[in-house]
Structure formats: C-alpha cells, structure tokens
Structure 1
Amino acid sequence: MKEILQKIKPSKQEEKKLRDISNELISKIKERVKKLDSRIEVKLVGSCSRNTWLRYEKDLDIFLLFPREYSKKELEKVVENIGKEILEKLQKKYAEHPYVKGEFKGYDVELVPCYLIESPRNMVSSVDRTPFHDRFVRENIKGKEDEVRILKQFLKGISCYGAESKVEGFSGYLCELLIIKYGSFLNVLENATRWKFGEVVQFGDLSKKKLRRKFPNSPLIFVDPVDENRNVASALSEEKFARFVYAAKEYLRNPKYTFFFPKKRKKCKRDVISKFKKRGTEIFAIIFEKPDILDDILYPQLRKTIKRLKKALKEREFIVEGSFFSVSDRKVAIYFELRSSKLPKAKLHLGPFVSSSHEERFLRKYKSYDKKLTEPFIIGKRWAIILERKYRDVRIFISDILKKGNGIPTHIMEAIRKKFEVKLNEEAILDEFLEDLLQYFDPRFPWEN
C-alpha cells in the first residue's frame, strides 16, 4: 500500500500549493460577491475540501450559496460574470443550474451556484445538497483520507471510477461514504465480496424491503446520509457493480499492483482483425460525426440508439451476438456483431389456425400477394406461407432505418442526418476505434493485461 500511496497522495508542497491557490481564488470571488450581496457564501467543496484528492487531480469545485429570493436566472448571471473576470478558457455548462468551468493558475475550476438552505428537505435542485455532503464527510473522514485515495485508485484501475454517464461507476462521494461505513479499503473489499444485486448499505436502519421497492433497478443502494430519499449509487450500472465485486474477490485472493495501475494494451490492427476472424461472425459499424453535446447527454443517447437498433435487427431476424459503441475525438462508431450480415430470400410466415375466424382473410390476402414464393399450406394446425424477405442485406436495412430515424434519440439522429457510413467486417475496423474493438474481441479485465 505504501508504494500505491507514494504515487497518488499529494506531497506537502502540493497540498500547500492547492491550499494557497484555492484560498486566492475564493478571496477573489468573495471580493466580487461582497459588492453584490454580503449574504452570498463562497465554499470550496469536493475532494480538495475533504483532503481525499489524488495528486494528479487538479480540480477545484467552488460553490456560491445564494439566498432563496434570487431567481435561477440571477444565479446564472452572477456566476457567469464572476467566471469571465477571474477564469481563463471559460465554458458555460448545464445541469439543473447552469454553471461555469474554466482554469485558474493551472487548476480546473467549476463555479456552481446553489441555494443557501437550512436542510436538504428545502432544496430547490440536487446541487443544493452538495454543501451538506461536504459537511458530513469532513466531520466523519478524519484519519481515513488515505483509505479513500487507495479505494479511488483501485476503482480507476479497474475502470469503475466516476459517476458520469461515460463510466456509470462509483462517484468520489460514494467512495468516501464506503470508507466511513467500513473503516478501510480492505474492509470495503471484504464486504463487497458478499454483495448481491440490490445490496443495501446505510448508516441508519431503514427497511431494506422498502428501499428496494423505492430503487427497484439499482444493483447497489447506498442511502444518502443527508437525504434518505436519494441513492448515492444511482449512477452505478449492473456491469460496473459486478466488475467491482469480482475485482474485490480477485484482489483479496491475489493482491497485485496492476489492480491499481494496469498495463496498457498494445493496439495492433492486425491482432484485432485476427481475433475477429476467429469468431466466424460478421460486424458492421455505423460511423458519423461526434455531436457537439455533453458526454452526459451523448452516452445515454448512444445506449438508447443501440437498444432501438438491436430491437429492429431482431425483428428482421438478423441474429445479434453483441454490440457496443466507441467515441473518438471527432467521430462515433456504433458496432453490431451478427451471426450473418445476409439472410436467405425465403422467409416462413405462420398464419392463423385452420378453421379459425382469421383463416378466410389470410387466404384472401395471400392469394394475389406479389412477394410470395409459395401458395399457402398447412403446418400442423396452422396456415403458413413462404414469403420473399424485404431486407436480406443488413447494410440496406440499417441505411433505411437510419434515414427514417424512428425511435432514435434527437442528437444522434441530427448527426446521422448530416452524414453517416455503414462499414462491414474488416472495413469497420478503424484505427481511431481500435482500443474499444480490442476490448470487445478480447474482453480481459484491466488487471489481467
């Protein structure tokens, strides 16, 4: 553990530098806020406030707490104006409240407005809870900060750290709560080895049965100690939950440095093609320009797109073996692995039962049907007919589906309408998506690299 901590724990000089810069930044913000309203409070929150930050993280989260009579528009305007005066490379971001992001002396800074409230019960939006999170952790984490750092790095190493939509993993706050609950990194892992889907963790004694009903699709339920109506682990996907549980078992059985710092895999196009060919399947990719939207919007929309297209493929009897998407700096690729990209011309279509009320209509419909390959006949108790498929080639089918756009999320459809390509097999194995292609065709865990 000492070797891990040496790499991730900030040095005394780094701690002092962060403290000095954050104090300077807060002082500058306070100067400007004071002129407007002395009741507005300015607070550093997050891992830097709680001293659980990792040495390569340079993020400062500054919250401005406004009296309740301010409108959301006023909050937005004040924060934006302060950001323009103090920060470089300013960007406006949108959550429940708009906030600004920029840089100050080499540190990434977020200025977030929220309301000054007495209790989370009075919150207007979810960000109003954050100062209460900060207070709870600061009051309970003393002496365990390094344990949080080790847990965070472990989760980073197994690709499970971050509550953002791109990752669907464990947030920093959830890591801190796990350490407060169980006392140490190793105790967290020991407990995790016994977790089942729908696991409930809490500081109180609320009914587990009721909590599972309240959060029915959550693999892990960790009741927020400042708001019992919130699950801190709500962003965690089933896959990342399962990976963490397995990684905990594996680490306790055989602790290795690579759980924290996995080796990078060599990306070789020839190897990816070789692994693909061994499967005896086919792949196709839908490739289009990356939409200019936040990742927290892009990634859920890509998952919905895959779900929609997978359903459409199955309805047309293309057998889907797997799917994933890959995002580069400029482009997006949605991949499907199929048993075959082509289907036979003939399709068996089952009709109604013989002597049923629908029999006459079925026979009348298909008597003059121009896409039939046979006349109606009987299989067992039912009428049947062999029809000619409308779509035999997946590229033609997918191109038609994308042109119609039914059920595809807005931002993805807008990007596809501008331009898209459908590439098949080796043509679909492109350099900019090699990392994700390699992971798909050779799905080893990071610590196994």
Structure 2
Amino acid sequence: MQELLEEALATLVPSDAEQAAVAALCDSLLARARKAAPDGVEPLLVGSVAKGTWLPGADIDLFLRFPEGADLKTEGLALARAVLPDGEELYAQHPYLRGSVEGYSIDAVPCFAISDPTQPASAVDRTVFHTSWVHDNLTDAQRNDVRLAKRFLAVAGAYGAAAAVGGFSGYLVEVLVHRAGDFPAFVEKVASWRPPVALGAVPGAPEAEITLPDPVDPGRNVAAGVMRDGLARAVLAARQFLAESTADAFVVGAAERKPLGCVTTVVLPHPGGVEETALPHIQRQGRKLVRALEPFGVLGSHCSLGNEGFIVLETAVVELPERQLHRGPAVWDAGAFEFLAAYPQAPLRDGRFWALKPPRHLDIASAVQALLPKARVVEGLADGAEPLPAA
C-alpha cells in the first residue's frame, strides 16, 4: 500500500512552480489589503493554502479581521473591494467577495477579530483559530496524509461541507487525520464506523451522524455538517479500499454509474441567493417529492443548482397500473365496517380486508406537478442537471 500512496501523493502535492506562484500571489494580496486596511484591521491568510494542506488549483482565502462591532457590510466590503475590484458579492454568515486573480479563485472575507473561539461567534470568525490549530498540531507528514484523505473522500463523493455534498469539511479531515495518526489508520477507523459515530461528547449539541468536539471549541460539533449519505459514501470507500487498494481510489471520475431505473428531472425556478442558501431549499422540495412518489419505487434522488434548480429522480416505474392493491384494516380494528361499506367485495386475508383502487396519480409527471405546480418535468436527465452520484 505504501508504494500506491506515494504514487498518489505525487499527483496531489502542488509542484514547486505552483507553490512559488501561489506564494507570490498571496504576498501580493496581503500587501494590497494591508495598504488599504484602516487601523486595527488585520488581513491574513486562512484555509488550506495557509495550513499547507492544499491540493493543486486550490482556492485562496484572505480574511480581513475587523474589531468587533465594525460594519462588515460597509467597511468590510469596501476593504474587500480594494483587494478584488471585480469580485462578486456573496453572503455566508458575513458578506464577502469572490473573484479570480491569475487563474485562482480568491475569497476576500471580512470577519470579526474574536479573542476566544469558545465565545458565541460565526463559523467564519472561528476559522482563524482552525488555521492556528493545524499549524500547531499537524506534522509535515500528516499534512500530506490530509491531502490523500481529501482526494480519497472527494473520489468517494464525501468531501465538502456544502449542502450539495453533506460531506467532510477540510478542517474535519485535518482533525480526523491528526486523531488517527496517518492516512492508513484514518481509512481503518472510517471503515469501522456505524452511525451514530461518537468520537467525543458535545453537551447540548443536536443529534448528528458524527459527533466530534472541535479542538478549539469543545462546545461545537465539528462534524455536524456530515449527512447520512456523506458518511455512508466514506465508509463504503474505506471498506472497499481495505479490501482492494487501487489507484482508482484517488482518481476523480474513475467510477461511472449507470441508472438502474427510470430517470426523471424535476426543474424548478432558481430560488435566488447563493448556493449555500438556495440549494437547501431545492433539497427540501426533493425530500417532499421522494416521500410523495414512493408508489413509483424511488431508488434515489439528487439535487443540484444551475440557472435553475434540479431534482433528479430514479424510480422503478414512471407510470402506475390503473388499479393498485389497497391494504385495509383488520376485522377487529376501528374503521373495518366503513372499509367494507366502501369496498363490499373486499376479501379477507390473514384477518385483514384487501381491495383494489386507482392510484392518486397515474404517472410521475402529474404526481410531481400536483405537489409542485411551478415545476417542469423532463424525461431523462435535463440539460444542466447532475446525475445521481456513483456509490
């Protein structure tokens, strides 16, 4: 396995040329921010580039730390605009700008300079402490193990804390690799998990698939964003890798999934806002549809966002027979007489009445539009929609 990991790592560590280019770009961004920053404001780099756990082509995160009480919408964005004049304004707990410089995606993020990560604060404000923790606790070898773990989870479809993935954030991966010691031990631990995974106690935290106290704020569950499918994909990938270790585990797009059933795309108007807020709205509609379409045999669903919102459904059928088996009450249950009055020819089987009745909706399109009147239903995979990911 060691030879395989070394070969994979060789593709995941940025080249000397890219490291030099990114270092020069970061110096330039910091210099620009410091020149424009008012007194008391501290620009600094955070995220994977600052931690030394980045992969080739990684985004660069420049944080602009303002004293508490500052107006981040006005003062913060003004400073961010001095760094990224053409940046797009977005919002995730605090307003920020996203732009591109020399081919790299840059986030210029105003935040508050808190002194204690355990005090009430946004995840954005706490990020600075995560960067410091990684610097203080991960060895150079473990930083490379983090690179392996990130790519491994990305290939499995389990990397990224965004709503679209519901997987492992970069910081969570760093904490888990540190706890395990190295990448092989990380994989062994993940392969043994079964939800709910308790890796420590976080008093008062909501129930979650994985519970792990944040090293810089023990009152916060650092794994709260991992959803059931994200956990399942990670566990499956780990078990498969232990059973047969291959280079495909580190190659994005190596696995392709062919649908088992009928594919239908439900297209909805974009709800507005950025992906972090818009996609959860589409996902809620997706969950409603999965429950409502159970008679069609829902195998799976996947939500994505482009110019419109997409819910891709895979079902056993897209049309139902004109009559379906209808399970009635047992003779001794309440409602037995009423059921027999409605279906006087209903036979008894195992003490229970059974009948046939028309389905509420004969086809999947009418069922969808009854629940979501503004939806457009497309047979197959619509342009712009993402297919169900491979397991």
**CA contact 2:80–2:96 (8 Å) conserved in 1:** no
Counterpart in the other structure of 2:63: 63
Query: Aligned pair 1:111/2:108, yes or no?
Result: yes
Query: What is the alpha-carbon distance in structure 1 between the residues aligned to residue 357 and residue 232 of structure 2?
Result: 44
Q: Tell me the secondary structure at the aligned position of residue 344 of structure 1.
A: coil
Q: Which of the pair has more CA radius of gyration?
A: 1
* 1:334 pairs with 2:312: yes
Quick one: structure 1 residues 287 and 375, their matched pair in 2 at CA, closer, same or farther if it must change by over 3 Å?
Answer: same
Which residues of 2 match residues 356-375 of structure 1 at below 5 A? Answer: none
Letter in 2 for 1:436: P
SS at match of 1:20: helix
1:62 positional shift = 1.3
Q: Distance in 2 between matches of 1:245 and 1:168?
A: 14
Q: CA deviation at 1:336?
A: 4.5
| Cross-structure match for 2:250 | 260
- The root-mean-square deviation of aligned C-alpha atoms, in Å, is 3.4
For residue 205 of structure 2, what is the aligned residue in structure 1? 214
Q: Percent identity?
A: 24
Question: How far apart are residue 384 of structure 1 and its match?
Answer: 9.2
Sort the Cα spacing of 1:376 and 1:112 in 2 relative to 1 into closer, same or farther, 3 A: same
Rounded Cα–Cα distance in structure 2 between residues aligned with 1:383 and 1:310:
28
**Structure 2 residue 230 is the aligned partner of structure 1 residue 240:** yes
Partner of 1:48: 49
Runs of 5+ consecutive residues of structure 1 not aligned to the other structure: 203-207, 367-371, 404-416
CA positional deviation for 1:101: 1.2
Q: Which residue of 1 aligns with 2:167?
A: 169
Deviation at 1:342, TM superposition (A): 2.6
Report the counterpart of residue 201 of structure 1 in structure 2: 199
Report if aligned partners of 2:154, 2:252 keep a CA contact under 8 Å in 1: no
Cα deviation, residue 119, structure 1: 0.5
Q: 2:189 aligns with which of 188, 191, 208?
A: 191
**Whole-angstrom distance in 1 between the partners of 2:357 and 2:245:** 59
Write the mapping of 1:53-92 to structure 2, written as runs, cut at 5 A.
Answer: 53-57=54-58, 59-70=59-70, 74-92=71-89
Q: Give the AA of the match of 1:105.
A: E
- Residue by residue over 1:76-122, the C-alpha shift from the partner in whole angstroms, topping out at 9 and shown as x without a partner, is 21232223333154111111111111123332211112222221233
Cα distance per residue 1:164-190 (max 9 Å; x no partner): 111111111111112222221112112
Which residue is 2:19 aligned to? 15
SS in 2 for 1:42: strand
Count of residues paired in the alignment: 384
Instruction: Tell me how far 1:387 sits from its aligned partner.
Output: 6.5
Deviation at 1:358, TM superposition (A): 10
Could you say if the C-alpha distance between residues 54 and 388 of structure 1 is closer, same or farther in structure 2, counting changes exceeding 3 Å? closer
Secondary structure of 1:324's aligned partner = strand
TM-score by length of 2: 0.84
Say yes or no: does 1:320 pair with 2:286. Answer: no
2:160/2:169 contact within 8 Å kept: yes
CA contact (8 A) 1:10 1:55 kept: yes
TM-score (norm 1): 0.74
Offset of 1:348 from its aligned partner? 5.3
Shift of 1:139: 0.7
The structural deviation recorded for 1:262 is 4.5
Aligned residue number for residue 428 of structure 1: 380
**Structure 1 CA distance for aligned equivalents of residues 165 and 384 of structure 2:** 19
What does 1:266-305 correspond to in 2, within 5 Å?
A: 282-305=262-285
Question: What amino acid maps onto 1:300 in structure 2?
Answer: P
Report the Cα distance in structure 2 between the residues aligned to 1:148 and 1:100, rounded to whole angstroms. Answer: 27
Aligned position for 1:180: 178
